[in-house]
Amino acid sequence: MPKLSPEASRLLKKRIHAIIFEAETKEGKLFDVALVIVILLSVLTAIFESMYADGGFQTLFYSLEWFFTVVFLAEYILRIYSIERPSKYVLSFYGIIDLVSCLPTLLSVLIPGAQSLIVIRALRLLRIFRIFKLANYFSESMVLYDALMAARVKITVFLFSILIIVTLSGTAMHVVEGAENGFTNIPTSMYWAIVTLTTVGYGDLSPKTDLGRFLASVIMIMGYAIIAVPTGIITSELTRSKYQNISNQACPGCGSQGHGQDAAFCKNCGASLKTPKPPESN
């Protein structure tokens, strides 16, 4: 690499940063689109490799995977090069995902036949989320994210209660049905309880005794009633975020209420609403 003057280096860094990390400029957008395509192609390659592993395409898949690895590696190095504080990026969630995206092929040299590296290759898909985050028109996804975050504690309490119900149901079914009907131990029975409560119902394990079927019926109807809970949580959060933006401020002119958060004038009498509002807590 030829030595650059500090000024030229600074400008180059800034330019690369704008292209790689931002999505405002035309080049930035082009880079994002190209990256999404390369990511999707690399995952498609992994998928096809799993389908035609025995065919004569081994060399093709191998070459493609090396090509993607070089591309991701080059991108990773450019990201570190162009950013102000590389350490912060390297240790961030997406920094780790970016590094991991380059590893499978490199590791496959060291550990031959490591089939499980295919999972790491699929992890590249997570990188697409960052690109969508940059593209502002996907701001709708934030509403979903906010609703999920707001309901975080409730969902945790809910999942925890589910876990206790699953343990109790699983233990009871292990005792009632026993190993001869496939409920060989408590973890297996807990797996059955999860399959049942979530209404998936594979049927690989199913109660055979009368008491077991009765117990399963109770668990199913319970599951039917509590499936409503997470839905209720998310829905009420999503609904709340819609209603909340009605301010409680009364018009100083006519005393009317129900103005939007962004209202500067009273909707009834047209008087100015510019009394200072206290900062909202939520």
Residues 83 to 122 in contact with a second copy, rule: CB under 8 A: 115-116, 118-119, 121-122
Identify the residue among 57, 195, 209, 249 touching a second copy (CB under 8 A). Answer: 195
Q: Closest by alpha carbon to 199, among 231, 172, 176, 174?
A: 231
Angstrom distance (rounded) from CA 204 to CA 255: 66
> ∠207-209-215 over CA atoms, to 5°?
65
Identify the residue among 64, 83, 102, 197 touching a second copy (CB under 8 A). Answer: 197
Contact stretch for a second copy (CB under 8 A) within 10-18, 28-36, 87-95, 124-132: 124-132
45/82 with CB nearer a second copy:
45
Angstrom distance (rounded) from CA 99 to CA 124: 10
Count CB atoms within 10 A of the CB of residue 114: 12
| Nearest distance, CB of residue 120 and a second copy, angstroms | 9
Indicate the residue type of 145: Y
| Nearest distance, CB of residue 44 and a second copy, angstroms | 10
CB 164 within 8 A of CB 188: no
Identify the residue among 65, 72, 172, 177 touching a second copy (CB under 8 A). Answer: 172
Annotate each residue in 228-247 with x if it binds a second copy (CB under 8 A) or - if it does not, as one string: xxxxxxxxxxxxx-xxx---
> Under the criterion CB under 8 A, does residue 138 sit at the interface with a second copy?
yes
CB 117 within 8 A of CB 126: no
Contact stretch for a second copy (CB under 8 A) within 7-15, 83-91, 101-109, 193-201: 193-201
| Nearest distance, CB of residue 250 and a second copy, angstroms | 7
Residue partners of 126: CB distance under 8 A and separation at least 6:
97
Number of residues that bind a second copy (CB under 8 A): 104
